[in-house]
Structure 1
């Protein structure tokens, strides 16, 4: 029980706006890997990051692994020029990469910061399904043929989808919190996007990060079947705990339950 409390306390000190001092993670030559978890306001965040960093490296979604390696090598090469008179530059990579890609950096003991935005698991799942079914998605017809209903899509959802993208395998929620605290310098939430971006700006010493509302889609309110709600809850237990914990950092003061 004490171990869980220690992990949660460490996590709060690392990520809560109430505990992180201004410029804690400020580095004029840093390279930040901003992981874009699908349907977590990525388009809006991306536009804000382009305005805040000297160089914005978009990672292609069509061949993420190859694009990620190319962009990281480019960012590292640019960093090597810091002492040639050109001066340091702040760089950010953003895309749909995951923990396996981040390990490319960690295995080479390269200085990195990781950041991301998470979202309520049910809302994220439903938004992702609707987007894949819409004409905005190039393969929407094939997707709808494969997953005609929300429940069909929910059946194939991996367990704790967001956490596994962020940190890979973990053996307890405590372990997940400790791994996040070691690897990330910022985790925000879509539901408090403006406040999250303001905290990112303040803690990392960035220029203004205005909230942009893009690609938000329709605010559709049709009922979600209980079978889908139950499936998402069953498969997203730790994602939900993480979201609840971070939401407590931005909501009105209250006891945080994990």
Structure 2
């Protein structure tokens, strides 16, 4: 698994890193367009399994542990038969999946850290989020939200061990442990490169779960807010910039490839 090899060019990257039969694990960081991507993955790579916590509504909202849900799909044989899976689980939580399926390849998508935090905050305050009432009570403003340790560096905490901190460590970890890292802000390029790694040649078609506007989730996006989010999410900023720089090295080559080998949807 070598996302870092993309900097050598798309031709050798596709030749050496394509994975058409292995289990494809999508580690879905919240608010990175992952719901849309999960739907695409289910279409491209069947059998597919979305691994998620179960919610139960009573006087309070309770839910199962994602670790238990992962154990269940391993024990019932689902993972043994799957060609892809996804979920809001971390790299460390996915270790049992990698053990059960040594052929597994992991990928993920990132989003500009400032926009991802704002989107995460706004979504957490809508009725679509099971514990939105508690979130509103606990974090009355976005400033309270971004100052809480559990909201900080969420992309990095999902994708890497906690001791991977410096830019060099981050670059080495994602470069060697992930088959691919895409960006929401460069979604067409990222999705098409991923699809080619999976043995197809497609552009994205799905778009799901845009956050609704409510009276509880308006945010005034100011330069001070940008600076504060960046301050509290330095690992995420470093992670995003590394992935962005890697993809930038092949942007021109990808454009030429699209002209020479356009996906079926793009053909005239």
Query: Residue in 2 aligned with 1:126?
Result: 118
Is the contact between residue 195 and residue 202 of structure 2 (CA under 8 Å) also seen in structure 1?
Answer: yes
1:182 to 160, 167, 176: 176
Query: Residue in 1 aligned with 2:29?
Result: 37
1:85-129 Cα shifts (integer Å, max 9, x gaps): xxxxx6111000002212324567823211100111110011011
Once residues 203 and 23 of structure 1 are traced to their aligned partners in structure 2, the CA distance between those partners, rounded to angstroms, is 9
Is the contact between residue 111 and residue 185 of structure 2 (CA under 8 Å) also seen in structure 1?
Answer: yes
Query: Residue in 2 aligned with 1:68?
Result: 70
1:24-72 Cα shifts (integer Å, max 9, x gaps): 4334431121001000001110111011012111111333111122224
Let me know the Cα RMSD of the aligned residues.
Answer: 2.8
Once residues 211 and 245 of structure 1 are traced to their aligned partners in structure 2, the CA distance between those partners, rounded to angstroms, is 27
Residue 21 and residue 100 in structure 1: after superposition, are their counterparts in 2 closer, same or farther (change >3 A)?
closer
Query: Residue in 2 aligned with 1:232?
Result: 229
1:92 to 78, 84, 87: 84
Residue 183 and residue 11 in structure 1: after superposition, are their counterparts in 2 closer, same or farther (change >3 A)?
closer
Structure 1 segments unaligned to the other structure (5+ residues): 1-9, 79-89, 254-258
What TM-score, normalized to structure 2? 0.75
Query: Residue in 1 aligned with 2:266?
Result: none
Is residue 2:43 matched to residue 1:77? no
- Structure 2 counterparts to residues 159-238 of structure 1, below 5 A: 159-169=152-162, 170-206=164-200, 208=202, 210-217=204-211, 222-238=219-235
Once residues 224 and 101 of structure 1 are traced to their aligned partners in structure 2, the CA distance between those partners, rounded to angstroms, is 34
Q: How many residues align?
A: 233
Q: 1:167, CA displacement in angstroms?
A: 1.2
